[in-house]
A and B are shown apart, each in its own frame.
Chain A
Amino acid sequence: MTETSNTNGELYGVMAEFDDVTTLCNAADKVRDAGYTKWDCHTPFPVHGLDDLMGIRFTKLPWVVLIMGLTGCSLAVLMQWWMNAVDYPYDISGKPQWSLPANIPVIFEMTVLFSAFTAFFGMWIANGLPLWYSPLFRNKRFARVTDDKFFVSIEATDSLFDSAKAHDFLSSLGASNTEDVYHSNETAALPGSLKGKMIVLACLATIPLAMVYNSYGKTTTEPRVHLVPDMDKQDKFRAQGQTTLFADGRMSRAQIEGTIAQGDLEDYSNNVVNAAFVARGEERFNIYCSVCHGFNGQGDGTVHRRATELADAGHAAWVPPADLTLEMYADKSDEELFSTITHGIRTMPAYGGQIPEKDRWAIIVYLRALQLAQKGEPVDMTGMTSEQRGEVMFASKSCSTCHTVDGARLIGPPLNGLIGQEITLDDDSTLVIDDDYILKSIANPMAQARKGYPKAMLEVALTDEELTDLLNYIKSQN
């Protein structure tokens, strides 16, 4: 930094150089007494007591810190109360949703955080930091303030300032040198070309934001952008994935022969079925199954009833849960039911992760008891006409869960007046219903599904004779 007269602007103030701390302290005392207010001392190291000599008042910062600390404290209480008790109340083991002891660590942290930030940044603000530049830096002598010299500077903006007087005054205090210090006369404004460039850059900088905004909520057929590919595509083995690591190319490994997985040691196929086991099954059934299948297993659980109400009000289609007391479920093997509970079926989710293996067997045992207990009276079909037998089957094979014969719509289409009716199929083709279509629809329900109905019908295994009876019954309702 060269100091040449043609770059000097306005007078900044007078700077005095001192050789030792004692002279400086003495000078500081005198400058304060002289009544100057816009002046400062500059030392290579902190000098204890200098602030007293300079007459600097004790900082008010502690009060600000106290207030901000209390603010942090209150905010922490408020935040946790609002999160835990108001916005997202969550019942954990019946504990209170908002409890002060649990909040204290966060209250403590927030109080400290607010206090510390206020103290730190408040100190900066109070001291006018960060100070990037001072005209004193233009003076070569001033560089020694970081080495072995002490300086007092009196600014020209001080109301008592008079350059000549200040020089004399500071010299009389033992200054080894006094000098005028000038502002630079170079303008501090930014060059016009730089301004233009910055405006262009600022505009360019909005492009990525605009792109993000544009893509926000848009559907796309392109693969999504992976910002953190390591996270999205992890080097890990997935159950159904491929690998070259093993000879058979599969990631999932078969259980090693002669070993047993943790928790699999017990062989549940030999469960002792006793009252306690059934009671356990009942308890588990009531917890996990009854919400949909009902306490009696008849498929009239709370969820079903509510969903039916909603479906009736036109909100959504609803596939009713199975009436487990029906013969078709009674006929299913234990293993099939076990598989259904474990893996789920159609809209029923898998419960294997929630219900331990032993409990699943207990549920099946209880279900068998339910089925046995609710088996209706056997119907004597001797002497019945084909239509009458069909009517019995219509009720017992659960057709009536979804279909009516009085024109009312349940889940499926009403079955009265079918023959000769022209209907629209799912693929928008039209078709006139005949015997063949009815039989095919019972055997393979979804092959030619009708438009406007949920694809919910299950296959019903019937003998040819039973099919004929059912067909005759449906036709009789034409």
Chain B
Amino acid sequence: MTSNHNLTLTGDYQAGDLAPRMKRLGLLLAALGLGAGAAMGLTGDADAKTHFWFAYLVAFCFALTIGLGGMFFILIGHVVNTHWNVSLRRLAELTMGALPVVCLFGLAMLLPFFDHDVEIWQWDSINSSEAHAGENVGAHGGDASDSLSDKLDHAEHEHIVQKKAAYLNRNGFIFRLLGYFLIWAWIGRFFLSKSAAQDTAGDSIDNVLRMKKVAAPMIFVFALTLSFAAFDLIMSLDETWFSTIFGVYIFAGSFLAANCWLVIMSKWLQARGKMTDVINTEHYHDLGKWMFAFTFFWGYIAFSQFMLIWYANIPEETHFYMNRTLGMWQNYSYLLMVGAFFFPFLALLSRHVKRSTNVLCGMAIYILAMRYLDLYWLIMPNYHRGEVIDNPFGLVEISLAVGFIGLLIFGIARNAGKQSLLPLNDPLLAKCLGHKNL
């Protein structure tokens, strides 16, 4: 391995005054989005508040999965010693570096625990109703008596939750959540700082070797934390349901979202004169290939989960899909199937789509919207679970999603100005710039 002695870089790779502008943009979006969402959601009755918190969870998970996908982008790149993504690496590092900001606001999801009107994770209210026997559980827990999940014998339902109480309890949940956030923050910090240190390290490649060494075990840490965070944040919303593939499902969506985010981010920076000569058609083509591959992988995992449950036909598993085929949720299910799988799969099959960067950027924005839809489809049916309701999607959802995208942008901008946007001194950079797809 040699450093890039004979590599002459002439483009603009410093965020410069773009960083404070991005920061302001992020803050503005976050303040407007979260503020408007809170103004609409938190001032209403218990039902509106519950709706707000579910929408908040979707928006949080949306931003979170983009950041986590960025983390995998970094880790897997180091582990397999790839060269094509080096010029994109700093952007992915910045994306995962935004996780602490996103997670800090994610901690707000703990507030509903202390609000008796709101019930997000029902295992919590079942646990506490068990502790204070006779106390009224939750805002709409009582009036949902004819819902499908309640057709499980109530006592049996409680019995299942009690069996899980050793894992699904308030303290454990908070403790684990903090644990995930700290681990992710550390991984983000470590790779960003080592990578930045390499920029000025001259001939030494110690930083790079260190990153490669740490990346391998961190793949395991990443897989475990992402899976368990998915179990805790999303799967446990339906406290009797379980699917062992669920972590992989969230992972597939995460990495897909991150690749889309990188395409958009690169286009955005290049439109502002940054990185114009270091991210070329070949790199977009490769990002497009990841988008294509993970669109399919996500569909593959989604179907794997569906088919086993459909085939086995066990009520304790099938109610997940029952809830999502009730009333207008069925439209969401079909939209997800066609919109998040069939259309992008067929569209991204073509090499020309992947190599025409504007079209690819359009696909990236579209797929990110589908990523939001996927999380919405996972989380929202637990609000008024199993009941036929009107489509809850509205301004609250849009505001909160905008707010969390603002937070993500702010989190990225916070670190963007501190070093170059390109890993200037990475030993594989020259190879990356000469990269060509056959």
Q: Say whether A383 faces chain B, with CB atoms less than 8 Å apart.
A: no
Q: Say whether B105 faces chain A, with CB atoms less than 8 Å apart.
A: no
Contacts of B300 in A (CB 8 A): 108
Contact with B along A103-132 (1 / 0, CB 8 A): 011001000000000000000000000000
Q: Say whether B334 faces chain A, with CB atoms less than 8 Å apart.
A: no
Closest chain A residue to B350, Cβ basis: A62
Closest chain B residue to A52, Cβ basis: B436
Contacts of B310 in A (CB 8 A): 101
Q: In the complex, are the beta carbons of A66 and B311 less than 8 A apart?
A: no
Of B307, B351, B436, which is within 8 A of A62 by CB? B351
Known interface pairs A48-B436, A49-B436; A105-B307 also in contact (CB < 8 Å): yes
Bound-state Cα–Cα, A66 to B350, Å = 10
Contact with B along A367-405 (1 / 0, CB 8 A): 000000000000000000000000000000000000000
Contacts of B436 in A (CB 8 A): 48-49
A27 CB, min distance to chain B CBs, angstroms: 20
Contacts of A62 in B (CB 8 A): 351
Q: Say whether A209 faces chain B, with CB atoms less than 8 Å apart.
A: no
Of A48, A49, A101, A108, which is within 8 A of B306 by CB? A101
Of B307, B349, B351, B438, which is within 8 A of A101 by CB? B307
Of A48, A49, A66, A104, which is within 8 A of B303 by CB? A104
Closest chain A residue to B303, Cβ basis: A104
Bound-state Cα–Cα, A111 to B84, Å = 30
Contact with B along A41-83 (1 / 0, CB 8 A): 0000000110000000000001000100000000000000000
Contacts of A108 in B (CB 8 A): 300
Bound-state Cα–Cα, A386 to B297, Å = 91
Contact with A along B296-307 (1 / 0, CB 8 A): 000010010011
Q: In the complex, are the beta carbons of A102 and B349 less than 8 A apart?
A: no
Q: In the complex, are the beta carbons of A66 and B349 less than 8 A apart?
A: yes
Bound-state Cα–Cα, A105 to B306, Å = 12
Contact with B along A83-114 (1 / 0, CB 8 A): 00000000000000000011011001000000
Contacts of A66 in B (CB 8 A): 349
Of B307, B349, B351, B438, which is within 8 A of A104 by CB? B307
Contacts of A105 in B (CB 8 A): 307
A69 CB, min distance to chain B CBs, angstroms: 9
Closest chain B residue to A65, Cβ basis: B349
B338 CB, min distance to chain A CBs, angstroms: 14
Bound-state Cα–Cα, A49 to B438, Å = 8
Closest chain B residue to A99, Cβ basis: B310
The A-contacting residues of B in range 309-348, CB under 8 angstroms, are 310-311
The total of chain A residues at the interface (CB under 8 A) is 9
Bound-state Cα–Cα, A105 to B310, Å = 13
The total of chain B residues at the interface (CB under 8 A) is 10
Bound-state Cα–Cα, A403 to B300, Å = 70
Closest chain A residue to B438, Cβ basis: A48
B58 CB, min distance to chain A CBs, angstroms: 27
Contacts of B438 in A (CB 8 A): 48
Bound-state Cα–Cα, A374 to B307, Å = 54
Closest chain B residue to A102, Cβ basis: B311
Bound-state Cα–Cα, A264 to B436, Å = 73
Bound-state Cα–Cα, A62 to B353, Å = 14
Bound-state Cα–Cα, A49 to B349, Å = 23
The A-contacting residues of B in range 165-185, CB under 8 angstroms, are none
Bound-state Cα–Cα, A195 to B420, Å = 74
The A-contacting residues of B in range 388-438, CB under 8 angstroms, are 436, 438
Bound-state Cα–Cα, A101 to B304, Å = 10
Contacts of A48 in B (CB 8 A): 436, 438
Contact with A along B367-382 (1 / 0, CB 8 A): 0000000000000000
Contacts of A104 in B (CB 8 A): 303, 307
Closest chain B residue to A104, Cβ basis: B303
B252 CB, min distance to chain A CBs, angstroms: 16
Bound-state Cα–Cα, A104 to B310, Å = 12
Closest chain A residue to B304, Cβ basis: A105
Closest chain B residue to A62, Cβ basis: B351
Bound-state Cα–Cα, A101 to B436, Å = 40
Contacts of B349 in A (CB 8 A): 66
Contact with A along B267-281 (1 / 0, CB 8 A): 000000000000000
Bound-state Cα–Cα, A96 to B49, Å = 43
A97 CB, min distance to chain B CBs, angstroms: 15
B321 CB, min distance to chain A CBs, angstroms: 11
B292 CB, min distance to chain A CBs, angstroms: 13
The B-contacting residues of A in range 247-268, CB under 8 angstroms, are none
Contacts of A49 in B (CB 8 A): 436
Bound-state Cα–Cα, A49 to B434, Å = 11
B305 CB, min distance to chain A CBs, angstroms: 12
Bound-state Cα–Cα, A48 to B307, Å = 44
Bound-state Cα–Cα, A62 to B350, Å = 9
Contacts of B307 in A (CB 8 A): 101-102, 104-105
B348 CB, min distance to chain A CBs, angstroms: 13
Bound-state Cα–Cα, A89 to B351, Å = 42
B317 CB, min distance to chain A CBs, angstroms: 14
Bound-state Cα–Cα, A66 to B310, Å = 30
Bound-state Cα–Cα, A102 to B306, Å = 11
Bound-state Cα–Cα, A104 to B438, Å = 32
Bound-state Cα–Cα, A105 to B300, Å = 10
B9 CB, min distance to chain A CBs, angstroms: 22
Bound-state Cα–Cα, A448 to B353, Å = 90
Contacts of B311 in A (CB 8 A): 101-102
Closest chain A residue to B311, Cβ basis: A102
A244 CB, min distance to chain B CBs, angstroms: 48
A101 CB, min distance to chain B CBs, angstroms: 5
Bound-state Cα–Cα, A398 to B334, Å = 67
Contacts of B303 in A (CB 8 A): 104
B435 CB, min distance to chain A CBs, angstroms: 10
B37 CB, min distance to chain A CBs, angstroms: 37
Closest chain B residue to A95, Cβ basis: B313
Bound-state Cα–Cα, A87 to B350, Å = 38
Bound-state Cα–Cα, A110 to B375, Å = 31
Closest chain B residue to A69, Cβ basis: B349
A108 CB, min distance to chain B CBs, angstroms: 8
A120 CB, min distance to chain B CBs, angstroms: 16
Bound-state Cα–Cα, A108 to B306, Å = 15
A74 CB, min distance to chain B CBs, angstroms: 15
Contacts of A101 in B (CB 8 A): 306-307, 310-311
B354 CB, min distance to chain A CBs, angstroms: 12
Bound-state Cα–Cα, A48 to B303, Å = 39
Contacts of B306 in A (CB 8 A): 101
Bound-state Cα–Cα, A48 to B431, Å = 13
Bound-state Cα–Cα, A104 to B436, Å = 36
B66 CB, min distance to chain A CBs, angstroms: 28
Closest chain A residue to B435, Cβ basis: A48
Bound-state Cα–Cα, A387 to B291, Å = 98
A67 CB, min distance to chain B CBs, angstroms: 12
Bound-state Cα–Cα, A105 to B58, Å = 31
B45 CB, min distance to chain A CBs, angstroms: 40
Closest chain A residue to B306, Cβ basis: A101
What are 15 of the A-B contact pairs (CB < 8 Å)? A48-B436, A48-B438, A49-B436, A62-B351, A66-B349, A101-B306, A101-B307, A101-B310, A101-B311, A102-B307, A102-B311, A104-B303, A104-B307, A105-B307, A108-B300
**Contact surface of B with A, Cβ cutoff 8 Å:** 300, 303, 306-307, 310-311, 349, 351, 436, 438
9 closest residue pairs by CB, A with B: A101-B310, A48-B436, A101-B307, A104-B303, A49-B436, A104-B307, A102-B311, A62-B351, A66-B349
Given contacts A48-B436, A108-B300, 4 further A-B contacts (CB under 8 A): A48-B438, A101-B306, A101-B307, A102-B307
